[in-house]
Chain A
Amino acid sequence: MRAITDSATMLRRQVKHIWRYPTVILTFAAVPVVFLLLFVYVFGGTMGAGIGADRAAYVGYLTPGIMITTIVGAAQGTAISVATDMIEGIIARFKTMAIARVSVLTGHVLGAMVQTFLAIAMVTVVALLIGFRPSASVLDWLGVVGVLAMFTFAITWLSVALAMVTKNVATASNLPMPLMLLPFLGSGFVPTESMPAGLRWFAEHQPTTPVIETLRALLAGRPAGSSFLEAAVWSAGIALVSYLWARRLYNR
């Protein structure tokens, strides 16, 4: 009970931070939007032909990958914000108070999820403006939001843990960087079938691929099939391990 009310208080703290510095969300959305425009207008013609269609169809293929790029990109911002917070005296104050200890971290996670979702919404609006035409039903959209929430939750806990591995803000901000590569080394931008054998195996067995495949299916109004279960298992696994890791680092 205490953990819930204290986490809610800490979430309010984060929301006030976001409210005071709303431009942070723009920086979360900027890179994915640039990628989106670059891949649609520069590579789009060729890429579209590669999937046996055209530029317009490629927007639909690309958008789920760009959504995931937004999530893993935001992880870096979250890591910076957590690492910066951890060296502030206020964390020592929280630790000497009789509050639910983990609530500081839960506040960060929930706050970062709000930010990430706003950034995803912006990116999606841009995609819609340049020709993204999803054929998802209301139920499919709920599924999309659910899958995005699951994966964001997992990646955010991971970035919170990574932020606390070192006491140095610069290092902490670099640690989640490799995550940015995952959508590229998966089915985010091109089908995995077009990759050489070794890379293809990796692409088909890493967490972003089933998440992207699920989103792609739901947005196209198709059933997601087994990729949904795979995405859920990956998200739950990453979230659990990262949560335990982050909690241990915080209590250290």
Chain B
Amino acid sequence: MRTFVSVTGLRKSYGAHRVLDAIDLTIPQGTIFSLLGPNGAGKTTTVQILSTLIKADAGEIWVAGHDLAKEPDEVRAAIGVTGQFSAVDSFLTGEENLRLMADLLHLGRTKGRRRVRELLERFDLTDAARKPAVTYSGGMRRRLDLAMTMVGTPRLIFLDEPTTGLDPRSRRTMWQIVRDLVQQDGVTIFLTTQYLEEADELADRIALLSQGRLVAEGTPRELKRMVPGGHIVVRFADADGYRRAVGHVGATSSNDAALTVQIPDSGGVRTLRKLLEWLDTHAIDVAELSVHTPDLDDVFLTLTQEPSAKEPSR
């Protein structure tokens, strides 16, 4: 697969505060890359640099075969940005917003009209086309926002927290739209999100950003393997059963008051079957049993640390 974005040694500081420190990234064409990190980790700064909004202090950045520092306009022609704060003109109608993009991209009258109609159709905005964007719901605004980005048929789209604040149904619609962009249009997606579920759902590769550094990178599956998060939690029905079992089930931690034990789950179903058999032979009643598989939350919490309280938060 051809590399579409390559970043080496990217650095950015605001005064003494180092926001991004030696970031290296490679994104193959036609894939979804997700940058994850807590608030203030540097996600938005990365997007702002890669989308030519602000300048990096150091580092080499190539987007769509162009050196970002030397040919920003060529890069701009290849990218589209749908930001955290919706980038639509609230006073204009949906159709006028799209026309504005078509005019700025010099599509010409007929071609522009056709493209606007297509996008209104595709993003399910035809009925609302003549209403001002200020009257749109959150989901409609995001769809209009993305439709505006699509007017110029960009080959790389930055989606900066595209579903923040959306209801679950709108979020799912958005996810499907993003998948279609990759599958039907061959677009490369750079996604930042705080929702780990979203990254898990969409991304081919995920990079974890913490305090300006990349702390992990890989497929969702690879990342989950990095943390030993899998375990079984058993809550016993009575104190007697708890006392009899606690020393024999291989618990790594136990809670006398809550009558619970936590058992590392290394063998999957086999561990579970052995545990249930043992409990059965010894006639111990269990009130509740749950199996936890490691998810990106575990990865996230393990690998990203909160800045310590001593450090000035600027």
Contacts and interface: CB of A to CB of B under 8 A. Distances in A.
A138 interface: no
Contacts of B52: 95-96
A99 B91 contact: no
B106 to A, nearest CB: 7
B23 to A, nearest CB: 19
A96 to B, nearest CB: 5
B88 A21 contact: no
A16 B91 contact: yes
B132 A93 contact: no
B40 interface: no
B83 interface: yes
B87 A93 contact: yes
B285 interface: no
A13 B100 contact: yes
B119 to A, nearest CB: 15
Contacts of B79: 96
Interface in A93-132: 93-99
A17 interface: yes
Contact of A89 (B76, B83, B104, B105): B83
B81 A5 contact: no
B226 interface: no
A92 B87 contact: yes
Nearest to A20: B91
Interface in B43-61: 51-53
A90 B88 contact: yes
Contacts of B53: 92, 95-96
A97 B102 CA distance: 12
Most buried by B among A5, A9, A17, A89: A89
B191 interface: no
Secondary structure of the A contact surface, majority rule:
helix
Contacts, number: 61
A12 interface: yes
B51 A89 contact: no
Contacts of B249: none
Interface residues of A, number: 20
Given A92-B83, A96-B51, A12 B148 contact: no
B76 A9 contact: no
A17 B100 CA distance: 13
B88 A89 contact: yes
B103 interface: yes
Contacts of A204: none
A98 B148 CA distance: 14
A96 B76 contact: yes
Interface string A13-29: 10011001100000000
Most buried by A among B73, B80, B81, B91: B91
Nearest to A87: B85
Nearest to B96: A16
B92 interface: yes
A12 B85 CA distance: 24
A17 B96 CA distance: 11
B89 A92 contact: no
Contacts of B89: 13, 88, 90
Interface string A158-189: 00000000000000000000000000000000
Contacts of A89: 83-88, 145
A230 interface: no
A89 B84 CA distance: 8
Nearest to B78: A98
Nearest to B149: A93
A9 B96 contact: no
Contacts of A96: 51-53, 76, 79-81
Contacts of A98: 73-74, 76-77
Most buried by B among A17, A21, A97, A99: A97
A20 B104 contact: no
* In the complex, the 9 A-B pairs of residues with the closest C-beta atoms, listed nearest first: A89-B87, A93-B87, A89-B85, A98-B76, A9-B103, A98-B77, A98-B73, A96-B81, A96-B51
Given A89-B145, A97-B104, 8 more contacts: A9-B103, A13-B100, A16-B96, A17-B92, A88-B87, A88-B89, A89-B88, A97-B152
Interface of A: 5-6, 9, 12-13, 16-17, 20-21, 88-90, 92-99
